[in-house]
Structure 1
Amino acid sequence: MTDRGDFAGQAALFTQDVVYDVSALGGGRLVGLATIREAALTLGDANPVAHHVTNIVLRETADGRVHAVSKGLGVMADGSTGSVTYEDTVERTPAGWRITHRVVRPRRTPLRD
């Protein structure tokens, strides 16, 4: 969705007040879909041309939330790639399951957290 500029489509994944923490990438904590949209527009052509998510592990908690950990690959316009780990909190909302909090951590060293 975002890769092609469909920022309205983010509402199918995230709550309106999502906390999107890209501090480990130098982007700080972005709060809300509008803030995420503005950050992406500011990056412009420095955004990845594609994001691929894989290896999703889900763990339900006693309070009904779900914690998800997954791997992400970002492909840049020049063909370079990067790897991240997504740590998500997912909650059931009236619109369905949505991510309420995401932490993005770059993966640059093998065999370490």
Structure 2
Amino acid sequence: MLNADDRHQITQALALHAYVSDEDQLDRLDELFVPDAVYDMSRVGMGAFEGVEAIRAAAAGLRASGHAPTAHFVTNVVIDEHDAGTAAVRSRGLMIMHDGELRAVTYDDTFRLHDGRWRIGRRLITPLHPASGG
């Protein structure tokens, strides 16, 4: 059963991910992800990346292109235990894009205990689209 410390570690990792991304601290990604993590951005048209080094390279490439978000915000965190050592975490992300546009996504994460710390094992990003007007 997840205890308060487990939940704290998970929410801290979600928050830290935003700062690591926004402050270009990509050398810290191994603090957030298990070594064989999958970062799946296929629903936003950017593919899926397996392993911390591939995730780091994709993030660096996005930043170098000038299209990376300038700020990430994580909210509405819901944590459910799967099995001992894994947790399903769903949250919402708001991003201020390089051009000032605001975008929203859902993060579906699987966290795993790795070396005694909760880290992201899989992240699936799904964009939220505004309802069509009528």
Matched, 1:18 2:68: no
Measure the CA separation in 1 of the matches of 2:22 and 2:52: 15
TM-score for both structures, normalised by structure 2: 0.76
Matched, 1:94 2:103: no
Q: Which runs of 5+ in 2 are unaligned?
A: 1-19
- The question of whether the paired residues in 2 share the 8 Å contact of 1:59 and 1:66 is answered with yes
Higher percent of residues as strand:
1
Matched, 1:38 2:57: yes
Measure the CA separation in 1 of the matches of 2:87 and 2:28: 21
Measure the CA separation in 2 of the matches of 1:23 and 1:70: 18
Higher percent of residues as helix:
2
Partner of 1:78: 99
CA deviation string 1:27-48 (max 9, x = no partner): 1110011111211222221000
TM-score for both structures, normalised by structure 1: 0.89
Identity in percent? 37
1:67 counterpart (70, 88, 103) = 88
Q: How many residues align?
A: 110
Query: What's the CA shift for 1:63?
Result: 4.2
Give the letter aligned to residue 25 of structure 2. Answer: D
Partner of 1:52: 73
Measure the CA separation in 2 of the matches of 1:33 and 1:64: 20
Instruction: Give RMSD over aligned pairs.
Output: 1.4
